[in-house]
Chains A and B, each alone.
Chain A
């Protein structure tokens, strides 16, 4: 049982380049999330998808777009990467968005923008 799988694990981009971070879960979860983690800032929510077919902005959505491709997959796209987007990105999933649903995290993508 793989849980939440993120690809790639590492990526280096030049300013202005674009890329898509992929995330897939095999737990039949309804809800999926993208967080970024920066030193001293904790985890900050970029976008989430409460259920297939819906997406909503989180705390720091600027510069990002998302696609909930199907129930399993939720991708994050950087259209024009900036150095401020250097971070570790975590995808997570949960059974739902009720108050008692814990998150299950992928292993993260470490992104450097030069």
Chain B
């Protein structure tokens, strides 16, 4: 079982709706959680990070973290066709020597249709 799990999708939502992307992780010692967006044929780019329980909002994006249940989610409000991409969840578990090396989920493909 991969340490970071995501539903591969595709998740299809209509324009203007809320898209909800979920991620679960196995390492209870993980301290921070990242969401990257990857357009087809492009490299991943950071869109959100969170390290405290609860919600963190940035524009149309909200990250939600529940450490007790070991899941982190990303909500995209007022979804636009330009949000169509693959969303990667990254969790850096503790590695040897004091390093936290990001482990990625397989990514969820989001399709926003007009």
Give A residues with C-beta under 8 Å from B. Answer: 33, 35, 40-45, 48, 50, 56, 58-59, 90, 97-108
Number of A-B residue pairs at CB separation under 8 A: 65
Q: Are the C-beta atoms of A42 and B43 separated by less than 8 Å?
A: no
User: How many chain-B residues does the 8 Å CB contact rule pick out?
Assistant: 30
Q: How near does chain A come to B32, taking the closest CB pair, in angstroms?
A: 5
The dominant DSSP class at the A interface is: loop
Q: Are the C-beta atoms of B51 and A100 separated by less than 8 Å?
A: yes
Which B residues lie within 8 Å of A101 (CB)? Answer: 100
With A42-B88, A42-B106, A100-B51 in contact, do A106 and B98 touch (Cβ < 8 Å)?
A: no
Q: Are the C-beta atoms of B106 and A97 separated by less than 8 Å?
A: no
Q: Are the C-beta atoms of A42 and B101 separated by less than 8 Å?
A: no
Q: Are the C-beta atoms of B43 and A100 separated by less than 8 Å?
A: no
Which B residues lie within 8 Å of A44 (CB)? Answer: 104
Docked complex Cα distance between A90 and B104 (Å): 13
